[in-house]
Structure 1
Amino acid sequence: MKFNESLALRSGVVLRNRLVMAPMTIVSSFHDGTVTKEEIQHYAMRSKGLGAVITGTANVTDNGKGWPGELTIATDEAIGALTQLSEGIHQSGAKAILQIFHAGRMTSQKTIGEQPVSASAFAAEIPNAEQPRELDNFEIEAIIEAFGQATRRAIAAGFDGVEIHGANTYLLQQFFSPHSNRRTDEWGGSLEKRAKFPLAVIDRVLAEVKNTAGRPFAVGYRLSPVEITEPGIKFEDTLWLVEQLKAKELDYLHLSLKHFGRKSNDKNYQDKSELAYIHDALKGRVPLIGVGGVRSLEDVEGLLENAEFAAIGQQLLIDPEFAVKLIAKRTDEIISKPFGEAIQDLPMPHPMFKYLEKRYQ
């Protein structure tokens, strides 16, 4: 597959090539989640040559905020500045996709001003994790509706799609995981019941698009293939979930990976990468985005052996014209130095620089 081939998604949204910017945390919004000029410049600068840009997370409710400096799409007041963000991405011809999420238990009282919430009252197995409060039925339904309203706002703000964030241990994954979901009601227990919440969110988002968009508007879903906790999501659980997702009118699935070639931690799935297993399971029904460790033309080509789209993350942070260089066959100009060194050479918002500096130390 050639990375520079266009592809029309199920919704009618056409991506001019197979390169997309991966969603990344850049901690550069105002304290209330409003888009800053620096964020708009950041995305505009990196959208050149890409088929699409997927933004970092935008929280759909105030108690879904994961960290300071995060985008919000929880109220209509957010639409104006988000419109400027979509326009900034569109300037170079890339499609703009807003990632929407709820952090669930992966936040703190300091961040949201109240006790975090989750599927059940069990803390994550990470340092300083706070015990969340279990959501009741009314609150669950309200969050499902909040994803619908967030989609309405993304449409109004001129985006070409939303990506529902069901990965990286946030709320949708918390409902699917037997570690974070110990419920015995309709929202927990069996695989089917644990999948009910994320599938209900997908249905609500798709319904909003059908009722409101009036133009091609894409809906994607991001998932993590496994958890390392016991109990936790097993790879065969994810393959079961993929079968359910395949039946929805989604434009793409996006597999969250540290490296696109990673193999599962399940001894029964060692013949190929997680990406390859899931790509095979999809049987061409839904396009797949792969991600993780893409730093060269060879990486892009290797990833696209088992996916329709290659998402580029950290490389675009340090090499904003990475896609342009690939298209123009200027691969000798691609920046290959370690990320920790490379971030010193580029202008970026101060909070983002401090965040990345800490990460790469």
Structure 2
Amino acid sequence: MGIETQGKIGNLTIKNRFIMTAMGVGLGEHEGRATDDFIAFYGRRAKGGCGLVITEITRICEGNGIGEYDQLSLSSDDNIESFRKLADEIHKYGSKIFVQLQHPGRETYLKLTGTDMLVSSSSIPSVVSNEPTRALTVSEIKELENQFGDAAFRAKKAGIDGVEIHGAHGYLIQQFFSANDNKRDDEYGGSRENRRRFLMEIIENIQNKCGKDYPISVRLSSTEFLDKVGIKSGITVEETIETAKALEKAGVALLNISAGTHFTGSTIVEPTSYDQGWKIPFAEEIRRHVSIPVAATGVIREASYARDLIDSDKIDFVALGRPWLCDPDFGNKAIAGNDDDIRKCMSCVYCFDTAGESLVSGGEHAKCAVNPEMGNETVYTELKKDGERKKVVVVGAGPGGLEAAITLAERDFEVVLFEKNEYLGGQLYLASLPPHKQKMRYFIDYATKKLKDANVDIRLNTEVSAEEIKALNPYAVIIATGSSPVKPSRIPGIHNKNVYTPVEILRKDVELKNQRVAVIGSGLTGMETAITLQTAENDVVIVEMMDVCGTGGGQTVIMDERSTLAKIGVNTMPGHRLIEIKEHSIVVTDNADIEIEIACDSVVVSLGVKSENPYVDTLKDMDNVYVIGEAQAAGRRIGDAVHAAYQLAYRL
């Protein structure tokens, strides 16, 4: 049995062992139809080797059933035709498609539902929205069961191969499962059997309308991890095993095993620090107790790891989410053994951060930091090979410069890439250096291979002058020189010999050990620098003028870094402003302007960055000079630079 072999889900044959799990990317229509962009996005993954595509959450009713702004809907017959077009596109490539049916329960917002209150198993509000919530009545539960069945029947009419019921991640069905959320005293609360009754009756309703042979998958959280935050009444693996047995007996065709809930959010959408495959043991344990196929997810990033999961018979299907965003050809490349050609997911959560507000209010769809084509399949339809070997100079090999060089080389331009450092990657390389951040190197490794395969002229350790650029007589010049750390001269002592920047620490230009170190600023870079120093046997304190540490950037990553800071014992002083740096101490003031002197041996100043473009004046007389990334505007993220670079290189 290998990753390329066919698999069975009920009476359905899947062409290989790859599944694309449901992810909200914001490409649907507000009325719930699958748009051309939506269909192209999913079709591209089927073409790229995904055996079973599972769409993002699809609502089964309006009002309290709305979980996202541009969410798919099968609440009426109006949208069946668009789902038929979606199914036809997936089937073109020999792949199968399931629609994930979901009700958010309390995990939505009143601005979306248009109701006075949200609904749940009990009147306990969400820890995320904290909006007023009431318990569903028994008659409302029965109505929802019917609506799940009706939505499944519409999916079947549209040619969809099966449905997945979302019973994980803290949404309505899990709100019934969990004793921490379900405080009912009727037939839908109390015992485990009662708490899963809602799901079992949904399954029965679907089978009555679609037939017992219509495949049903159920997504489950193996555990809520509530014990990690001191709550003893959450779902455990042992309880989920009991649920899995009941689902098999009821005729469910596939168990799609995940973990977590909104209360333990980073366990659902994991940042870079999580180990590859960390959820797999939970799925393995559940699989030992059932005979139906089990799919599992959990930061699976490497094709070799995915193949091993199937080869070693740990699970039946490999369920991938974000890797399909980064590389739609993940499946085909993995099956062919072309692992080095896969653009791997770094778990940077850029997709989640860019989708966040749009899922509530509409607007821009989710984006992948390293794949600008994701979600833009109808825009970037063909990369023309029309460069005719015209020479393009790219200055700076950070993420933007690398992407520009790759895309231009693919278009048959002759690319000369200059980098003043001895390494590729720029800020991305620095981001890969703190503990547990090694995945951030994935894009650098991918880009390095692509550039070498294309025979791009890479010149490291070269701070190229304007005269040298002009001497090459290039068709175009792309300035991607990035940014440099800020050291505000207004602060007395800022230029003392014991004052460093994060770059110097992360790059190990300076190695501190057994010192008292004050890190000034608690943005993502400041926190990662503090973690690096603390793990190198220093005693670190973070000074932050805002009232909380960890501002800016994506909150999933920020929360993860805050957790790490607490675990390893880094002291934090929010609400304090740096006034002066002395030889063996710093002086800060609190919000009441009271001065405090803190003893320290070294100081690291992480107060942001400034754009670096040394060619503003010297290349202004040249045509076709473009500035991208942080060289254009400081503070941009990796994905911003990559997207700007691709857009320019695509259209140049």
Q: Decide: shared fold, TM above 0.5.
A: yes
Letter in 2 for 1:16: K
- For the 8 Å contact 2:20–2:319, the answer to whether it is kept is yes
Answer yes or no: is 1:343 the counterpart of 2:345: no
- For the 8 Å contact 2:99–2:163, the answer to whether it is kept is yes
Q: Give the Cα separation in 2 of the matches to 1:357 and 1:232.
A: 27
What residue number does 1:269 align with? none
What residue number does 2:60 align with? 60
What residue number does 1:276 align with? 284
Alignment of 1:106-125 (within 5 A): 106-114=107-115, 115-125=117-127
What residue number does 1:325 align with? 333
**CA positional deviation for 1:25:** 1.0
- For the 8 Å contact 1:58–1:98, the answer to whether it is kept is yes
Alignment of 1:168-207 (within 5 A): 168-207=169-208
What residue number does 2:299 align with? 293
Choose the corresponding residue for 1:313, options 306, 321, 338: 321
Answer yes or no: is 1:239 the counterpart of 2:257: no
Secondary structure in structure 1 of the residue aligned to 2:219 = strand
**CA positional deviation for 1:129:** 2.2
Q: Give the Cα separation in 2 of the matches to 1:180 and 1:289.
A: 26
What residue number does 1:353 align with? none
Q: Give the Cα separation in 1 of the matches to 2:214 and 2:94.
A: 16
**CA positional deviation for 1:208:** 1.8
What residue number does 1:32 align with? 31
Structure 2: gaps of 5 or more residues: 260-267, 269-274, 351-367, 377-552, 558-636, 638-652
**CA positional deviation for 1:159:** 0.5
Cα RMSD (Å) = 2.2
**CA positional deviation for 1:245:** 1.3
Letter in 1 for 2:300: V
- For the 8 Å contact 2:207–2:214, the answer to whether it is kept is no
What residue number does 2:521 align with? none
- For the 8 Å contact 2:5–2:17, the answer to whether it is kept is yes
- For the 8 Å contact 2:66–2:112, the answer to whether it is kept is yes
Q: Give the Cα separation in 2 of the matches to 1:162 and 1:149.
A: 12
Answer yes or no: is 1:19 the counterpart of 2:18: yes
**CA positional deviation for 1:83:** 1.1
- For the 8 Å contact 1:4–1:327, the answer to whether it is kept is yes
**CA positional deviation for 1:155:** 0.5
**TM-score normalized with structure 1 length:** 0.88
- For the 8 Å contact 1:290–1:309, the answer to whether it is kept is yes
- For the 8 Å contact 1:60–1:73, the answer to whether it is kept is yes
Q: Give the Cα separation in 2 of the matches to 1:246 and 1:157.
A: 26
Aligned identity (percent) is 31
Secondary structure in structure 2 of the residue aligned to 1:273 = helix
Q: Give the Cα separation in 1 of the matches to 2:289 and 2:276.
A: 16
**CA positional deviation for 1:310:** 0.4
Answer yes or no: is 1:41 the counterpart of 2:57: no
Secondary structure in structure 1 of the residue aligned to 2:166 = strand
Q: Give the Cα separation in 1 of the matches to 2:345 and 2:331.
A: 17
**CA positional deviation for 1:297:** 2.0
Letter in 2 for 1:252: L
Bigger radius of gyration among the two:
2
Comparing 164-173 and 295-304, the one that deviates more: 295-304
Q: Give the Cα separation in 2 of the matches to 1:234 and 1:197.
A: 19
**CA positional deviation for 1:332:** 2.0
Letter in 1 for 2:45: R
Q: Give the Cα separation in 1 of the matches to 2:7 and 2:281.
A: 24
Q: Give the Cα separation in 2 of the matches to 1:145 and 1:92.
A: 33
Q: Give the Cα separation in 2 of the matches to 1:324 and 1:316.
A: 11
- For the 8 Å contact 2:7–2:17, the answer to whether it is kept is yes
Structure 1: gaps of 5 or more residues: 264-271, 351-355
Change (3 A) 1:299 1:189: same
Choose the corresponding residue for 1:254, options 242, 256, 268: 256
Answer yes or no: is 1:228 the counterpart of 2:225: yes
How many residue pairs end up in the alignment? 340
Deviations 1:168-214 (A, max 9, x none): 11111111111221000111011111111111111111222218xxx
What residue number does 1:77 align with? 78
What residue number does 1:8 align with? 8
Secondary structure in structure 1 of the residue aligned to 2:57 = strand
**CA positional deviation for 1:220:** 0.8
Change (3 A) 1:273 1:129: same
Change (3 A) 1:307 1:260: farther
Secondary structure in structure 1 of the residue aligned to 2:369 = helix
Q: Give the Cα separation in 1 of the matches to 2:102 and 2:161.
A: 17
**CA positional deviation for 1:85:** 1.2
Change (3 A) 1:260 1:239: farther
